[in-house]
Amino acid sequence: MENLVPFLRILLQVLQLIVAVFLVLLVLIHSPKGDGLGGFGGTSQIFSSQKGAEAALNKTTAWTAGIFYVVSFALANYLGY
């Protein structure tokens, strides 16, 4: 059981790093003018419309932010802050 404690800390830190980088990339994909994903070719073939692509991006960003919050809270609680 004692070997599990450092492993859990490292796992949470790695997970937080991965989620943080993914969240930054998702935020950078968002367009400030509401165009969203407009610069990427082939978006219309993946999604039925541009609004569908933007809605999927918004939902993915929200879920990623929620996961980042939960992992950050778990890590802070684990470290005793």
Q: What is the pLDDT of residue 35?
A: 53
CA gap 44, 38 in Å, rounded: 10
Q: What is the pLDDT of residue 51?
A: 75
Q: What is the pLDDT of residue 30?
A: 81
Q: Where are the domains of the chain?
A: 48-81
The single residue listed with the structure tokens 């419309």 is 49
Q: What is the pLDDT of residue 44?
A: 47
Neighbours of 78 (CB within 10 A): 13
Three-state DSSP class for residue 25: helix
Q: What is the pLDDT of residue 79?
A: 83
Residue ranges in the chain modelled with pLDDT below 50: 42, 44
Give the predicted TM-score (pTM) of the model: 0.72
Q: What is the pLDDT of residue 36?
A: 52
